[in-house]
Amino acid sequence: MNHRNREITADESLMAQSGRYKSVADVMTRKTVTLSPHHGLAEAVSLMADRHFRHIVVVETGGQVLGVISDRDILRTLARTSNWQTKDVSQIMTRDPFTVKRETPLSLAVAKIVSKRINCLPVLDDEGKVCGILTSTDLLKAYQKLLESLESNRG
C-alpha cells in the first residue's frame, strides 16, 4: 500500500517493534518524488493518481524547497477554472511551507501539523535542501504502532 520507496535501518526496525519513535528521521519517507515549479498541473495530477500521493514538494534545481502542492489545492483549482490545463505547479502551490529537520522531535512535528492545519512537512537537511517528506499519514502509522505496542504491554 505504501508506494514510496523507503530504507529501513536496523535501529528503525528495533524501534518499530517497540513502537518508540523519537524524531522525524524515524518516521519520514526518504526517497521522495519532487516537482519543479515549471511542471504542468496535469503532471501533478497524474503523479498523485499513480502513486497515491496527496502532497508533492516543489523544489528548485538546487534542491531548495519552494512550496508544497496538495490534492486539495488541485481540486480547488479544478472546481474554479475551466482552463486548468494551462496552469503550472508554481501558480497553485503553497509557497514557503512549514518544514522540519531530521532531528526535530516527533511531538513538535505533530504539533505543527495539528496547529497549522496542514498534512505535509518537507524535511530539510542542514543546507536547507529537501531530504524527505513527513505527512500526517506517516504520523498516524507511527501512532498506530505505538498504540499496538502499548496494548500488548498492558496485556
The 10 Å Cβ neighbour count of residue 96 is 9
The interface mask with other proteins, positions 56-95, x = CB under 8 A, is ---------------xx--xx-xx----------------
Q: Retrieve residue 27's grid coordinates.
A: 518516521
Binders of other proteins among residues 119 to 138 (CB under 8 A) are 136-137
| By the rule CB under 8 A, 14 interacts with other proteins | no
Give me the sheet containing 130-135, strands edge to edge.
Answer: 100-101, 120-124, 130-135
Window 18-47: residues binding other proteins (CB under 8 A): 20, 22
Q: How far is the CB of 78 from other proteins (least distance, A)?
A: 4
CA dist list (Å): 45 to 61, 89, 96, 107? 21, 10, 21, 32
Distance in Å, CB of 69 to other proteins, minimum: 15
What whole-number distance in Å separates Cα of residue 128 and Cα of residue 99?
10
Instruction: Count the site residues for other proteins by CB under 8 A.
Output: 34
Give least dist CB 144 to other proteins, A: 4
**Which stretches of the chain bind other proteins, using CB under 8 A?**
1, 20, 22, 52, 71-72, 75-76, 78-79, 105-108, 110-111, 113-114, 136-137, 139-144, 146-148, 150-151, 153-155
